Amino acid sequence: MVILLTIIHVLVCLFLIVVVLLQSGKAADIAGAFGGMGSQTTFGPRGAATVLTKATQIAAVLFMVTSLALSIIATRASGTGSSVIERVEIPTPAQQAPAQSAPAQSGSTPPAQQPAQK
């Protein structure tokens, strides 16, 4: 199942790349090259959806679906579906040893005041 889904995912990726590269930009005229809208309409030029536009939409939806499916399958297969917080070990009071300070020797500084060694 995973192999079949991966093959479909790769094919959809390649198809999506080709379809996007074949499309022309919405402002493909000379005004679009200089930042103009290239049309007299209020919200810019908008033509009818072409076959390439529909193919791009379908390929994008398939890409998202196969990506999510592969991610869900990989998560379930690895068995790490828990959150990071649940995996952190919280030390019990028995494991926590109280910090015992050594008796101060003459001529030495206390551990809290010692400079950090590099």
Cβ pair 27, 36 in contact under 8 A:
yes
Nearest to 101 by CA among 92, 93, 91, 109: 109
pTM of the entire structure? 0.53
> What is the residue extent of each domain of the chain?
1-17+51-80
The string of pLDDT tens digits covering residues 36-57 is 555 555 555 555 678 888 999 9
Task: Confirm if 55 and 17 have CB atoms less than 8 A apart.
Answer: no
pLDDT of amino acid 47: 59
Which residue has better confidence, 75 or 7?
7
The average confidence (pLDDT) of the chain is 75
Interatomic CA distance for residues 18 and 13, integer angstroms: 9
Cβ atoms 70, 2 nearer than 8 A: yes
